[in-house]
């Protein structure tokens, strides 16, 4: 779907699948992040509310996503993170996952040990959000070279 | 004991929206008796009752200043009561709910012990979405985390154990499955022998703002409105002291709306409920007096005060002139206020205490009937007990130390505040005009159309993004976030945060399994069949068969599934 970078000489934009997993309906942050990433030149596939690990993995596969971004405001991150990582692994997808929302600092290390690439807290700026996504893409789980 | 404390309590604690002007006993005396609690509340009352209406320096002050229309006079711009907080202080209604029903019951009693005068229940996400705790697809990992899990009548019984429902004033914050929660509450009261007519409280039940902002819907908008009007009819007939809908701007604002959008969308939703209830054959004065509102208090002090003042004026004017209400109560915009959760920062979280204090003051000067103050750590997790206590103390300072409660509408007559009040009204009126155009002269039809065509969510997302860009480029300063930051201001290390452990979920799953084991399966099936039948019959009222179902210990999820079988489930278009 996206042009391979080598074919055009112009790097294809990073493709980000954004979703809220489970029942949590706080979508203000995710919608703002969607626009921030779009403004930063990325392609955003916004799945919106009430997604399951199944729908997120299917979208990541179909849309050839470079990153999956999940928003969590319901204290369910420690339960949901391992599930999405397992589902991505089971599907053979090495897509990095970034989590944003209300996550206590003490949980960040745990989430990273579970394989989450980055955790963004409330108040993160547009620059920080875009950087976290780019870093995730160029990190160990990402399969693309870093670009600015 | 009760008699000794009754008089000051009656005088000072009927600020609750649930109490009639000549109301009786104070909210939350317990039948089982918790003497220490009662004593704490009583002495607090006595101290307040003796309060002279003078400044700290001894200067006597009048109840109100300026010329008419005065507070208590149409269109109530300056407040709904002539002497406002002199006659009835606002209710300090703190929202609580976490873990199991037993846990939350304990937190309720903690709030009462520290002088809180009203309680409000937060349910967990599965409960709010009509899913049982044992729903493997949707509930795993979310049970009891953001509020209390209530699957069956057994949980509701635990939640209100030791609280006398005849004198309690209870608020339940639930929308999509509100009809089930109301039925459970009524069933608890029935079992305790408390007459339904004595039940006093509020259920949020504002389904329209769910499609616009909070997104906790279950069924599509039109059948959901039928559920709401069924509840309005049932409570009007059997629970005259109950508020069947709390029309809520709070979530609209939290989702990103401006103050004027919060005002315009919320009042438009209010008019939509009035139109729906009238279309269902109810007389406006039979229900309008029991409608109440719920607004946000954000950080722009004077804008907030102008918003509250214009809300009262618009509501009174529209109810009288457009909807033909004649009862005075029908014209009065009574509202609860909560400080803006979205304004709290994870950076330097302690400074949120100052934000909350100023927002609480705006609510008080705006004439709110009840107030919840946020805990400073809410940008990090659910509040700890200490943070919740500081939040309550903050509004006690506003109430008892600042003198703000001594004079009704003390900002009235300020050139800026009066201009802001007019400006808020002008902007809200633009929204009403747009909705009337969308709906061909009907606000209700306009609101449906605005939900269907993405008007509300689009407007709110635009405002949220504009605000975020201003913070990002530094044109709007948020202390601790984009200015006055500290190098290690970071986030708390988690040691002081409230954590809900997995054992809450395990406990609830066992509890639900035990209830299901003990109930009569045949009776459950019969009662669910009756719910389905009532859903198909537009002339039937859904409340009585749902009370039957909860009495059979049908779960919330089973009842919602039965309704969804007839009404369908709503999914929103993904609009950024």
B572 in a structural domain: no
Answer whether A106 sits within 8 Å of B494, measured CB to CB. yes
CA distance B475 to B467: 10
Average pLDDT, chain A: 87
Query: Where does the pLDDT of residue B33 fall: very low under 50, low under 70, confident under 90, or very high at 90 and above?
Result: very low
CA distance B180 to B558: 10
Q: What is the mean pLDDT of residues A90-104?
A: 93
Answer whether A27 sits within 8 Å of B345, measured CB to CB. no
Two tokens at A4? Answer: 């391979």
Identify the CA nearest to A97 among candidates A109, A107, A112. Answer: A112
Same domain, B520 and B403: no
Identify the CA nearest to B445 among candidates B454, B456, B437, B457. Answer: B437
B448, B471, B494 - which closes a domain? B471
Answer whether A74 sits within 8 Å of B145, measured CB to CB. yes
Sheet of B91-96, strands arranged across = B242-243, B200-203, B169-173, B118-122, B91-96, B370-372, B335-339, B292-297, B246-248
B65 in a structural domain: no
Q: Does A52 touch chain B (CB under 8 A)?
A: yes
Answer yes or no: are the C-beta atoms of B438 and B445 closer than 8 Å.
Answer: yes
The minimal CB distance from B141 to the residues A27, A35, A80 is found for A80
Answer whether A104 sits within 8 Å of B574, measured CB to CB. no
Nearest residue of chain A to residue B126 (CA atoms): A23
Query: How many helices, marked H, and strands, marked E, lie in chain A?
Result: 6, 5
Q: Does A21 touch chain B (CB under 8 A)?
A: no
Two tokens at B153? Answer: 């009548």
B575 in a structural domain: no
B28 contact partners, CB below 8 Å, separation of at least 6: B112, B117, B118, B119, B163, B167, B168, B169
Q: What pTM, to 2 d.p., does this model score?
A: 0.88
Q: Does A34 touch chain B (CB under 8 A)?
A: yes
Tens of pLDDT along B210-236? Answer: 999 999 999 999 999 999 999 999 999
The minimal CB distance from B256 to the residues A28, A74, A104 is found for A28
Same domain, B462 and B527: no
The minimal CB distance from A23 to the residues B125, B472, B481 is found for B125
B255 in a structural domain: yes
Answer yes or no: are the C-beta atoms of B93 and B117 closer than 8 Å.
Answer: yes
Q: For residue B382, which residues of chain A lie inside 8 Å, CB to CB? A: 75
Answer whether B571 sits within 8 Å of A125, measured CB to CB. no
Q: Is residue B13 predicted with pLDDT exceeding 60?
A: no
Same domain, B449 and B556: no
Q: Does A69 touch chain B (CB under 8 A)?
A: no
Answer whether A52 sits within 8 Å of B137, measured CB to CB. yes
Q: Residue B190 phi/psi, 5° resolution?
A: -55, -45
B245 in a structural domain: yes
* Interhelix angle B443-452/B221-238, nearest 10 degrees: 140
The minimal CB distance from B468 to the residues A32, A44, A107 is found for A32
B390 in a structural domain: yes
Question: Among A72-86, B365-379, B457-471, which stretch is predicted with the lowest mean pLDDT?
Answer: A72-86
- Residue B44's pLDDT is 41
The Cα-based distances of B206 to A121, B224, B240, B293, B535 in angstroms read: 30, 10, 19, 10, 19
Answer whether B576 sits within 8 Å of A102, measured CB to CB. no
- Residue A10's pLDDT is 63
Long-range interactions of B348-355: CB distance < 8 A, separation 24+: B348/B479, B348/B480, B348/B486, B348/B489, B349/B376, B349/B377, B349/B379, B349/B380, B349/B491, B349/B492, B350/B376, B351/B376, B351/B479, B351/B480, B352/B376, B352/B377, B352/B378, B352/B379, B353/B390, B353/B394, B355/B299
Answer whether B381 sits within 8 Å of A102, measured CB to CB. yes
Where is pLDDT greater, at B498 or A79? A79
Tens of pLDDT along B427-442? Answer: 999 999 999 999 999 9
Q: Is residue B26 predicted with pLDDT exceeding 90?
A: no
Neighbours of B562 (CB within 10 A): 23
Q: Which of A27, A106, A126 to mutate to test the interface with B (most CBs of B within 10 A)?
A: A27
Where is pLDDT greater, at B78 or A124? B78
Q: What is the mean pLDDT of residues B28-32?
A: 25
Same domain, B105 and B185: yes
Q: Residue A68 phi/psi, 5° resolution?
A: -115, 130
Nearest residue of chain A to residue B147 (CA atoms): A74
Answer whether A104 sits within 8 Å of B492, measured CB to CB. yes
Nearest residue of chain A to residue B469 (CA atoms): A126
Q: For residue B145, which residues of chain A lie inside 8 Å, CB to CB? A: 74-76
Write the ipTM.
0.85
Q: Does A85 touch chain B (CB under 8 A)?
A: no
- Residue B120's pLDDT is 77
- Residue B167's pLDDT is 75
Nearest residue of chain B to residue A53 (CA atoms): B137
Same domain, B461 and B515: no
Q: Which of B142, B254, B348 to mutate to test the interface with A (most CBs of A within 10 A)?
A: B142
Where is pLDDT greater, at B570 or B5? B570
Q: For residue B380, which residues of chain A lie inside 8 Å, CB to CB? A: 102, 104
CA distance B114 to B387: 13
CA distance A26 to B97: 18
The minimal CB distance from B215 to the residues A27, A80, A102 is found for A27
Identify the CA nearest to A15 among candidates A95, A72, A81. Answer: A95
- Residue A140's pLDDT is 73
The minimal CB distance from B572 to the residues A49, A106, A126 is found for A49
Q: Is residue B491 predicted with pLDDT exceeding 90?
A: no
Indicate the SS3 state at residue B173.
strand
Tens of pLDDT along B277-314? Answer: 999 999 999 999 999 999 999 999 999 999 999 999 99
Same domain, B515 and B461: no
Is the C-alpha dihedral spanning B141, B144, B147, B150 positive or negative? positive
CA distance B545 to B550: 9
Same domain, B97 and B137: yes
CATH of the domain at B227: 3.20.20.240
The Cα-based distances of A19 to A33, B194, B277, B576 in angstroms read: 11, 46, 37, 11
Where is pLDDT greater, at A124 or B246? B246
| H or E segment and range at residue B96 | strand B91-96
Query: Where does the pLDDT of residue B454 fall: very low under 50, low under 70, confident under 90, or very high at 90 and above?
Result: very high
Chain centroid to CA B545: 26
DSSP 8-state secondary structure symbol assigned to residue B373: P
Same domain, B345 and B392: yes
CB pairs under 8 A between A and B: 111
Query: Where does the pLDDT of residue A4 fall: very low under 50, low under 70, confident under 90, or very high at 90 and above?
Result: very low
**H-type alpha helices, B366-501:** 385-400, 415-438, 443-452, 455-472
Answer whether A75 sits within 8 Å of B572, measured CB to CB. no
CA distance A9 to chain B (A): 30
First-last CA distance in chain A? 22
Same domain, B534 and B396: no
- Residue B238's pLDDT is 97
CA distance B494 to chain A (A): 5
B514 contact partners, CB below 8 Å, separation of at least 6: none
Maximal C-alpha separation, chain B = 71
Q: Which of B173, B261, B468 to mutate to test the interface with A (most CBs of A within 10 A)?
A: B468
Q: Does A105 touch chain B (CB under 8 A)?
A: yes
B471, B488, B514 - which closes a domain? B471
- Residue B115's pLDDT is 65
CA distance B444 to B568: 21
B10 contact partners, CB below 8 Å, separation of at least 6: B23, B24, B25, B26
Answer yes or no: are the C-beta atoms of B405 and B48 closer than 8 Å.
Answer: no
B111 in a structural domain: yes
Answer whether B576 sits within 8 Å of A46, measured CB to CB. yes
Percentage with pLDDT > 70 across chain B: 87
Region label for B13, one of left (φ > 0), alpha (ψ between -120 and 50) or beta (otherwise): alpha
Answer whether B129 sits within 8 Å of A23, measured CB to CB. yes
Identify the CA nearest to B403 among candidates B35, B80, B60. Answer: B60
Answer yes or no: are the C-beta atoms of B381 and B499 closer than 8 Å.
Answer: yes
CA distance A11 to A95: 18
* Domain ranges, residue B509: 502-567
| H or E segment and range at residue A71 | strand A67-72
Same domain, B34 and B161: yes
CA distance B172 to B181: 8
Q: For residue B126, which residues of chain A lie inside 8 Å, CB to CB? A: 23
Is the C-alpha dihedral spanning B467, B471, B472, B475 positive or negative? positive
B324 contact partners, CB below 8 Å, separation of at least 6: B284
Same domain, B417 and B547: no
- In 3-state terms chain A splits into helix, strand, coil percentages (rounded to 5) of 40, 20, 40
Q: Does A87 touch chain B (CB under 8 A)?
A: no
Q: For residue A124, which residues of chain B lie inside 8 Å, CB to CB? A: none
CA distance B574 to B576: 7
Answer whether A104 sits within 8 Å of B572, measured CB to CB. no
Identify the CA nearest to A143 among candidates A64, A27, A90, A75. Answer: A64
Average pLDDT, chain B: 88
What is the domain count for chain B?
Answer: 2
Residue appearing with tokens 């697809």: B137
Does the N-terminal peptide bond of residue B75 adopt cis geometry, omega within 30 degrees of 0?
yes
Same domain, B415 and B537: no
Where is pLDDT greater, at B92 or B230? B230
Q: For residue A59, which residues of chain B lie inside 8 Å, CB to CB? A: none
DSSP 8-state secondary structure symbol assigned to residue B213: I
CA distance A53 to chain B (A): 10
**Residues in chain B, overall count:** 576
B488 in a structural domain: no
Nearest residue of chain A to residue B217 (CA atoms): A25
Q: Does A54 touch chain B (CB under 8 A)?
A: no
């Amino acid at each position: 779907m996206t042009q391979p970078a080598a074919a055009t000489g112009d790097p294809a934009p990073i493709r980000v699948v954004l979703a809220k997993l489970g029942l949590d309906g706080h979508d203000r942050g995710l919608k703002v992040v969607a626009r921030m990433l779009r403004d930063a030149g990325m392609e955003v596939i916004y799945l919106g509310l009430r997604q399951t690990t199944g729908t997120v993995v299917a979208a990541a596969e179909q849309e050839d996503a470079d990153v999956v971004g999940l928003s969590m405001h319901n204290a369910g991150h420690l339960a949901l993170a391992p599930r999405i990582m397992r589902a991505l692994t089971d599907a053979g997808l090495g897509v990095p996952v970034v989590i944003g929302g209300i996550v206590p600092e003490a949980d960040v290390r745990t989430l990273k040990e579970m394989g989450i690439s980055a955790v963004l807290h409330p108040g993160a700026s547009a620059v920080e959000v875009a950087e976290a996504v780019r870093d995730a893409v160029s990190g160990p789980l990402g399969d693309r070279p870093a670009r600015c | 004991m009760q008699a000794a404390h009754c008089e000051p309590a009656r005088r000072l604690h009927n600020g609750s929206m649930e109490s009639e002007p000549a109301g009786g006993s104070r909210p939350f005396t317990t039948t089982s008796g918790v003497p220490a609690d009662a004593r704490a509340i009583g002495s607090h009352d006595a101290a307040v009752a003796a309060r002279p209406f003078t400044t700290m320096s001894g200067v006597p002050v009048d109840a109100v200043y300026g010329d008419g229309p005065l507070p208590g006079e149409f269109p109530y711009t300056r407040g709904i009561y002539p002497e406002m907080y002199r006659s009835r202080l606002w209710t300090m209604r703190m929202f609580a709910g976490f873990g199991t029903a037993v846990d939350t019951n304990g937190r309720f009693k903690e709030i009462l012990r520290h002088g809180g005068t009203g309680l409000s229940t937060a349910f967990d996400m599965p409960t709010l979405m009509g899913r049982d705790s044992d729903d493997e697809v949707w509930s795993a990992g979310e049970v009891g985390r953001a509020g209390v899990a209530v699957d069956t009548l057994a949980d509701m019984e635990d939640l209100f154990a030791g609280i006398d429902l005849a004198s309690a004033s209870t608020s339940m914050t639930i929308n999509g499955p509100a009809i089930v929660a109301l039925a459970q509450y009524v069933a608890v009261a029935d079992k305790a022998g408390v007459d339904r007519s004595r039940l006093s409280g509020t259920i949020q039940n504002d389904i329209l703002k769910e499609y616009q902002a909070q997104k906790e819907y279950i069924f599509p908008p039109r059948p959901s409105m039928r559920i709401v009007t069924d509840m309005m009819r049932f409570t009007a007939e059997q629970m005259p002291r109950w508020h069947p809908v709390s029309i809520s701007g709070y979530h609209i604002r939290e989702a990103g709306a401006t103050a004027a959008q919060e005002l315009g969308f919320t009042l438009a939703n209010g008019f939509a409920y009035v139109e729906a209830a009238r279309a269902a054959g109810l007389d406006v004065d039979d229900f309008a007096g029991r409608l109440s509102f719920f607004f946000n208090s954000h950080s722009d002090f004077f804008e907030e005060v102008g918003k509250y003042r214009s809300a009262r004026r618009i509501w009174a004017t529209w109810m009288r002139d457009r909807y033909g209400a004649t009862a005075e109560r029908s014209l009065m915009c009574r509202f609860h206020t909560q400080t803006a959760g979205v304004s709290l920062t994870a950076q330097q979280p302690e400074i949120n205490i100052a934000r909350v204090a100023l927002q609480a003051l705006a609510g008080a000067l705006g004439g709110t009937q009840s107030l919840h103050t946020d805990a400073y750590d809410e940008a990090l997790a659910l509040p700890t007990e200490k943070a919740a206590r500081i939040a309550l103390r903050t509004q006690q300072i506003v109430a008892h130390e600042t003198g703000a409660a001594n004079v009704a509408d003390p900002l009235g007559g300020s050139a800026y505040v009066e201009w802001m009040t007019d400006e808020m009204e002008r902007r809200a009126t633009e929204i009403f005009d747009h909705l009337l155009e969308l709906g061909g002269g009907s606000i209700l039809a306009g609101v449906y159309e605005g939900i269907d065509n993405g008007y509300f969510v689009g407007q709110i997302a635009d405002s949220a993004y504009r605000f975020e860009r201003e913070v990002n480029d530094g044109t709007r300063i948020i202390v601790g976030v984009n200015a006055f930051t500290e190098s290690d201001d970071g986030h708390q290390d988690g040691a002081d945060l409230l954590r809900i452990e997995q054992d809450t979920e395990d406990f609830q799953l066992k509890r639900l399994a035990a209830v299901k084991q003990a109930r009569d399966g045949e009776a459950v099936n019969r009662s669910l069949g009756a719910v389905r039948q009532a859903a198909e019959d537009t002339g039937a009222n859904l409340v009585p068969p749902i009370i039957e179902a909860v009495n059979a210990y049908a779960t919330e999820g089973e009842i919602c599934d039965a309704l969804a079988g007839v009404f369908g489930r709503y999914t929103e278009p993904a609009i950024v």
